[in-house]
Amino acid sequence: MYKNETSIGLQIHDLARELFPINRSLTGNGVRETLSILKRENRELNIFKIKSGKRFYDWRVPKEWNVKHAFLRDHLGNVLIDFRKNNLHLMGYSKSFKGSLSLSTLKKNLYSLPNLPEAIPYTTSYYEDNWGLCLRHIDLLSMPDGMYEVDIETELKSGFLNYGELYLKGASRKEILFSTYICHPSMANNELSGPVVLTYLAKALKNRGGLKFSYRFIFIPETIGSIIYIKQNLKKLKRNVIAAYNITCIGDERSFSFLPSRYGNSLSDMVALHALKFSTPGFKKYTWSDRGSDERQFCSPGVDLPMASVMRTKYGEYPEYHTSLDDLEKVVTPEGLQGGYDLLNKIVDIHEFNCTPKARFKCEPHMSKRGLYPSISSLQSKSQVSNVMNILTWADGRNTLLDISNRIQQPIWTLFPIYKELCDNGLLVGKD
């Protein structure tokens, strides 16, 4: 089980509350504002900007989008929708539109959810010329026939796409990559939880120090951001990344979820599954067919990075997903965030603990002589073969400590101190 202390969970939740109202999208002022707040938390964060129109693989960087205002008014001038109240009211990348429309015409550009009548849905139209307003279905039902005034003023112009990258150098150039995204407006689990939890994970790793591996955190717009990032960094990533995690929907209190890398047999998969299995009871396993976030790019043919996804309730699998109900009250909580944070720390632990132990003696060492084994052999002491002996028996240089943990079904964090003691006693030598 993850730790129940919520002190860090509360801090993470506070940061999420600060970031929540900002209007994020693929591009725009909201993204820059978000990144600058994240940089305030970790000065090591580098912020990059990419010009609109530039090509990356099959894609072009979209124009930069900013919103002036968006209103829907009835024929009496009553404001029915105001973007300032909730930025989900406006379709992402909506163009400007001003006009008077009958209800039936207007409806072609209104989005609501009959099955979730209290929720404002989240819609986007990044690469298609379009406008749209989103509202609660109960509000739509209360709108009488007649004429309505739409007043959307947005700016779609050549500008920049921004993303952030934070690199913590460890003893080895080999690195663990954490990726999350910063392109969602006011929704909490998907996706403020990823950026805020990773921000605090980065803080923790700085404090921890003495890291064996390097750690890289990227805060990118989903899809186009990962495509840009991969195109810019592929050679370096392929050389250094030994494990990669897509972090999303990591702040609710429901059970944990796991989605494997493409072939499901990478170190990332093994580490994440170990952490989940031994610290979160009853987590849910998805398959590559259920993918839907940036692992699609990182694991694509030719890129082939070993990215697994670690989540609490997976995107698309909880009722509040992609609506205004995905909030910081009922869905994402300090305790939920703390749980996600603790799990990621376990994942880091596993990477840092892992190594390849090798026995320095043939046959079992004389444990009792070394004070490592009860010296009176009676029924009790012989009735179990201890973790100590299990580490030694598998320390043939063909098994990592993680392999051994899985073989004997013990968490690596239980075995690591024993491994250290056996090294100190000269019985084992470890190869990283």
Q: Which is nearer to a second copy, 92 or 334 (CB)?
A: 92
Residue 43 CA to residue 234 CA, distance in Å, equals 25
Q: Which is nearer to a second copy, 42 or 124 (CB)?
A: 124
Residue 216 CA to residue 197 CA, distance in Å, equals 14
The one-letter code for the residue type at 153 is E
**Structural element, H or E, at residue 176:** strand 175-181
Min dist CB 307 to a second copy, Å, is: 12
Torsion angle in degrees (nearest 10) through CA of 190, 193, 199, 204: -140
Residue 56 CA to residue 224 CA, distance in Å, equals 9
Min dist CB 416 to a second copy, Å, is: 19
Min dist CB 13 to a second copy, Å, is: 26
Please give the structure tokens belonging to residue 154.
Answer: 């947005």
The residue ranges that bind a second copy (CB under 8 A) are: 57-60, 111, 113, 121, 123-128, 130, 223, 226-227, 230-231, 234, 262, 288-292, 296-297, 299-304, 316, 321-322, 358-359, 361-366, 368-369, 375-379, 382-383, 385, 389-390, 392-397, 408, 427
- Tell me how far CA of residue 33 lies from CA of 174, 256, 371, in angstroms: 31, 30, 59
Taking a C-beta distance cutoff of 8 angstroms, is the pair 388, 321 a contact? no
Q: Which is nearer to a second copy, 396 or 432 (CB)?
A: 396
Q: Which is nearer to a second copy, 53 or 397 (CB)?
A: 397
Q: Which is nearer to a second copy, 130 or 240 (CB)?
A: 130
Residue 212 CA to residue 91 CA, distance in Å, equals 45
Q: Which is nearer to a second copy, 179 or 199 (CB)?
A: 179
Min dist CB 337 to a second copy, Å, is: 24
Min dist CB 303 to a second copy, Å, is: 5
Min dist CB 32 to a second copy, Å, is: 23
Sign of CA dihedral 307, 23, 228, 96: positive
Taking a C-beta distance cutoff of 8 angstroms, is the pair 94, 152 a contact? yes
Q: Which of 350, 346, 428 is nearest to 391 (CA)?
A: 428
Residue 225 CA to residue 296 CA, distance in Å, equals 12
Taking a C-beta distance cutoff of 8 angstroms, is the pair 176, 244 a contact? yes
Min dist CB 192 to a second copy, Å, is: 19
Min dist CB 58 to a second copy, Å, is: 4
Q: Which is nearer to a second copy, 76 or 379 (CB)?
A: 379
Please give the structure tokens belonging to residue 385.
Answer: 């073969």
Residue 349 CA to residue 376 CA, distance in Å, equals 36
Q: Which is nearer to a second copy, 96 or 393 (CB)?
A: 393
Sign of CA dihedral 123, 155, 26, 17: negative
Q: Which is nearer to a second copy, 103 or 429 (CB)?
A: 429
Min dist CB 368 to a second copy, Å, is: 5
Residue 46 CA to residue 382 CA, distance in Å, equals 57
